[in-house]
Amino acid sequence: MLREHLMGRGLRNLSVLKAMRDVPRHLFVPEAMRNLAYEDCPLPIGFGQSISQPFIVACMSILLDLRPGMKVLEVGTGSGYQAAILASMGARVYSIERIPELHKAAAERFRRMGTESAAINLFLGDGTFGLPDYAPFDRILVTAGGPDIPEPLVMQMADPGIMVIPVGNERNRQRIVRVFYQNGKYSARASRSVSFVELLGEHGWHTDRTHPTF
């Protein structure tokens, strides 16, 4: 995975490559698909959601420009893989998921793996509100795509701070946007096109076509 899909496509960031070498991705995918765990493709994790492809996880992690000890908010825990990568890079991770079953499965996975609970804190709820009780965050990473940048997340950025978020007015086509906050001023820059699952919630898309009970 490292040689072919990451380094082979020009990724050179050592701390990200090291984290992607150290975190066993096969423990985050459904058992029946373990043979595909190190291919460069997203895989279904149930409830219409998916674990992102390794190349995109690496790109998002690089764009975050993370340093050890930083406090990071992740919106969209899903399998927990991206959270594990951030924790492996030395971040203190606060990750929120809206689907109870996925939240529970990720918590159980980290418990079994013996992940330190101080390194990854998991929450259940609508992540478009962020986690005001734990703000501000040095970094915010949104791993689902919404029509706009949720206002509460902007308000929860530390100064200096960076947010990486897929934004697009089509439901499954976005550009990755990087928001910078420094000396009280915001700026934003768009980078590559991506296809994330929908960010559903108060400050995201409003109708849930995949999980109508929540």
Give min distance, CB of 103 to ligand SAH, in A. Answer: 9
Rounded Cα gap, residues 124 and 184, in angstroms = 30
CB nearer to ligand SAH: give 186 or 205.
205
Edge-first strand order for the sheet with 157-170 is: 120-124, 92-97, 71-75, 137-142, 157-170, 173-182, 185-194
Give min distance, CB of 81 to ligand SAH, in A. Answer: 4
Give min distance, CB of 182 to ligand SAH, in A. Answer: 26
> Is 52 an annotated catalytic residue?
yes
CB nearer to ligand SAH: give 13 or 49.
49
Rounded Cα gap, residues 167 and 155, in angstroms = 17
Backbone angles phi, psi at 171, to 5 degrees: -65, -30
CB nearer to ligand SAH: give 155 or 183.
155
Binding positions for ligand SAH, rule: CB under 6 A: 49-52, 75-76, 78-79, 81-82, 96-99, 102, 126-128, 143-144, 197, 199-201, 204
167 DSSP β-pair partners: 146, 175
Residue labelled with tokens 């899903």: 78
Nearest residue relative to ligand SAH (C-beta): 78
What Rg do the C-alpha atoms of the chain give, in angstroms?
16
Residues with a catalytic annotation lie at 52
